[in-house]
Each structure stands twice: as C-alpha cells, then as structure tokens.
C-alpha cells in the first residue's frame, strides 16, 4: 500500500502524518508513507483543502485532521 500525505508542510499536515503512522502501526499493515509538498501535484489530485490523504492513487480524505481511529477505519478495508 502506498500512502501519500498531501500538504505544503503546515501543522495540519504534520499531524495527519503522525496519526496515519499510528494507524498503520496499529493495523500492522505494510505501507510506504510519502509526503507530497508540491502544489501542482497536490492540485492534480483534486485536493483544494490541505491536508489530504491519498491511498494507492485515490484521495480518501481532505481538509481536516482525523483521529487515528478514523484513519484506521478508512485504511482497514483498503488493506485487504
């Protein structure tokens, strides 16, 4: 699974990365987490409010920092 965190490096993006790492560790899934800070690429995903969370090329969340529990719920079905 390839997870991308979209955001120019603001506090929200750092927080999203933290909760995502937590969720991935909790679920025990193999995933690479990449940061995307480049604006054209972020906009190319159709994301207008950062931070954004992209899993295997698909945007699953944008505009807010979810809880680790929420990220777990989102990732669990995608991992299998």
Which residue ranges make up the site for another protein (CB under 8 A)? 8, 10, 12, 39-40, 42-50, 57-65, 67, 69
Helix axes 11-27, 68-79, angle to 10 degrees: 50
For another protein, the closer of residues 33 and 48 by Cβ is 48
Q: For residues 13 and 65, is the Cβ–Cβ distance under 8 A?
A: no
13 given a catalytic annotation: yes
Q: In the chain, what are the helix, strand and coil shares in percent, each to the nearest 5? A: 45, 25, 30
CB of 62 to another protein, least distance (A): 5
How does strand 32-36 pair with strand 2-6? parallel
The catalytic position among 2, 9, 10, 39 is 10
For another protein, the closer of residues 12 and 30 by Cβ is 12
Residues marked as catalytic: 10, 13
């Amino acid at each position: 699974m390839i997870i991308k965190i979209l955001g120019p490096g603001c506090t929200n993006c750092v927080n999203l990365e933290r909760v995502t790492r937590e969720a991935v560790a909790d679920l025990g899934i193999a995933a690479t987490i990449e940061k995307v800070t480049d604006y054209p690429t972020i906009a190319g995903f159709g994301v207008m409010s950062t931070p954004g969370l992209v899993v295997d090329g698909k945007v699953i969340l944008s505009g807010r920092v979810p809880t680790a529990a929420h990220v777990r719920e989102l990732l669990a079905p995608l991992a299998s």
